[in-house]
Structure 1
Amino acid sequence: MFIVKIGGSVLSQSEEIVKDLANYKDFIVVHGSGPQVDKLTKERLGKEPRWVYSVSGVKCRYTDSEVILLHQEVCREQTSKLVELLKTNGMDAIGFAESPIIFAKRKEAIKVIENKKKYILREDQSGKIERIDSESLNSVLSKGKIPVIPPLAIGHNGEPLNVNGDRVCAYLARELGVDTIINLSNIPGFLRNEKVVPEIKLNELEQLRKETRGGMSIKLIGVQEAMNFGVQKFVISSGEIDKPVTSALDGKGTVFLHG
């Protein structure tokens, strides 16, 4: 079994990705939501999406009470589309947007840096993953169905929370003993001097995280968590190429391994 994450930046390529997935069995689909939520934030709320940096340099979305509703809407829509695409291509699938299986603790306050100043940001509706409803997930898998999981969680008080899709993959892998994760994005892999690094070992990750900023930083956190949870192979690759799943499994992109 493997997990494939379809990043929000390549959801427009879902048809080609799913056609490639039809060649495989025993996998779980996780998808992103970022660009779609950004678009609705501008169109519906008339404001720019707010992205902030934690003191450790990790880029994350500030999800207020209005944006979380858009996030829910996007998750429902994109999960439904992927389920229908999978079915159209001969695979039975079930989505977990209406009944999330991820449970998280709401981050009541986060330390961020904006305009070179550090301060505490409150009222964020994002969360730190605590557990996965593995019973529901295994029930679906035992029936030969493909789970489609959005980055949406439930908080301690039943409130919806935004969680990072890369870290969702890591926690799913821990619960199910998955040994391979593919992260498909609009980038060809981890870049150094504008060139893809073909292979990175786990013992190099900590230093890389310290040197990396922006969206790639949170991806590296997801990689590190997943491999510490027992994942043997993690691939960051492009979702915009021919047969992206097959290419990633064959090692195209950046392959993270133990060592």
Structure 2
Amino acid sequence: MDGMIVIKCGGSMIDTLSTEFFDSIKKLQSNGLKPIIVHGGGPAINKMLESLQIESEFVNGLRKTTDEVMNVVEMVLSGSITNQLVRGLQANGINAIGITGSDGGLLKAKAIDKEKLGFVGDITAVNETILYNLTSIGLVPVISPIAINNNGDELLNINADTAAAAIAVAVKASKILFVTDVPGVLKNNEIVETATSKEMLSLIDDGTISGGMIPKVKAALHSLEGGMTEAMIVSGQSYLLDGKKIVGTTIRKELEIVN
């Protein structure tokens, strides 16, 4: 839908979102855009698991999610973090509503590998009508990346970057932004301002892009494959969202050569 913009807010940014961030959301709305926020929560989940003395491990960058871990993931993501973001938006004059991906079957998913990863899923469907309806009455949906399986009897933990990309593709968003605690993709300590999908893959292959930036870039590439024209990775402390200038890394599709 024209005017949709998906903003993925990294868990490490939740406690440090600046006034400029909320001002940017208001500017988006005043420019006729309809923001949708998807958030992560890794640091807060880690802290809660540690306090409850529940062991957790990562497999290929994904958190292995046992029954015990899933309960904590749901409590932290859909409870404290969603509510914290909604309160921040409301305090800054933005009408927002918290929703988990399992509400109304917003996000349907299937388990990736129960034996290796437990309750970790890949999204199979997005009920975009829910988001159209919420944004049409001026609400900003704040979504926690927890999905429900196709049978409706099991919750699944979804990587927030991939959830944001799937939602952006489903609602045909005009733009997707991954808001993180770094200013963008860095090469030799300098921001890569623009790059193509192919160039991003090369930077992953040569090790320039590593760690937590890899799933963000891959999710950005997935959104491009799904039909979007560009995706951005930006810092929550340094970007402007006034429809004119955004500081960070812009990733675009390769130009098609027409003979």
- TM-score, with structure 1 as normaliser: 0.85
The yes-or-no answer on 1:125 pairing with 2:119 is yes
Contact 2:28–2:242 (CA under 8 A) maintained in structure 1: no
Contact 1:27–1:146 (CA under 8 A) maintained in structure 2: yes
What is the Cα-based RMSD across aligned positions, in Å?
2.1
Identity %: 28
Matches within 5 A, 1:223-238: 223-238=220-235
Q: CA deviation at 1:15?
A: 5.2
The yes-or-no answer on 1:52 pairing with 2:59 is yes
Contact 2:240–2:247 (CA under 8 A) maintained in structure 1: no
In the aligned structure 1, how far is the partner of 2:147 from the partner of 2:161? 14
Of residues 141, 146, 156, the one that matches 1:147 is 141
Inter-CA distance 248–62: structure 2 relative to 1 (3 Å threshold): farther
SS in structure 1 of the partner of residue 24 of structure 2 = helix
Inter-CA distance 46–161: structure 2 relative to 1 (3 Å threshold): closer
Of residues 201, 205, 214, the one that matches 2:200 is 205
Hey, what does 2:257 align to over in structure 1? Answer: none
Of residues 199, 206, 216, the one that matches 2:213 is 216
Of residues 42, 51, 60, the one that matches 1:34 is 42
Q: CA deviation at 1:93?
A: 1.5
Deviations along 1:133-175, one digit per CA (max 9) or x if unpaired, are: 1122211122221111111111234211111111112111111
Q: How many residues align?
A: 240
In the aligned structure 2, how far is the partner of 1:187 from the partner of 1:94? 27
Hey, what does 1:65 align to over in structure 2? Answer: 67
In the aligned structure 2, how far is the partner of 1:235 from the partner of 1:256? 6
SS in structure 2 of the partner of residue 5 of structure 1 = strand
Hey, what does 1:135 align to over in structure 2? Answer: 129
The yes-or-no answer on 1:174 pairing with 2:174 is no
In the aligned structure 2, how far is the partner of 1:15 from the partner of 1:80? 17
Deviates more, 1:28-37 or 1:207-216: 207-216
SS in structure 2 of the partner of residue 35 of structure 1 = helix
In the aligned structure 1, how far is the partner of 2:226 from the partner of 2:113? 26
Contact 2:27–2:242 (CA under 8 A) maintained in structure 1: no
Hey, what does 1:112 align to over in structure 2? Answer: none
Hey, what does 2:183 align to over in structure 1? Answer: 188
The yes-or-no answer on 1:105 pairing with 2:113 is no
- TM-score, with structure 2 as normaliser: 0.85
Q: 5+ residue gaps in structure 2?
A: 255-259
In the aligned structure 2, how far is the partner of 1:236 from the partner of 1:61? 22
In the aligned structure 1, how far is the partner of 2:241 from the partner of 2:252? 18
Deviations along 1:70-106, one digit per CA (max 9) or x if unpaired, are: 1101112211222222222222221112726111001
Q: CA deviation at 1:247?
A: 8.0
Hey, what does 1:11 align to over in structure 2? Answer: 14
Inter-CA distance 203–21: structure 2 relative to 1 (3 Å threshold): same
Return the letter of the residue paired with 1:91: I
In the aligned structure 2, how far is the partner of 1:228 from the partner of 1:84? 34
Q: CA deviation at 1:184?
A: 0.9
Matches within 5 A, 1:74-93: 74-76=76-78, 77-93=80-96
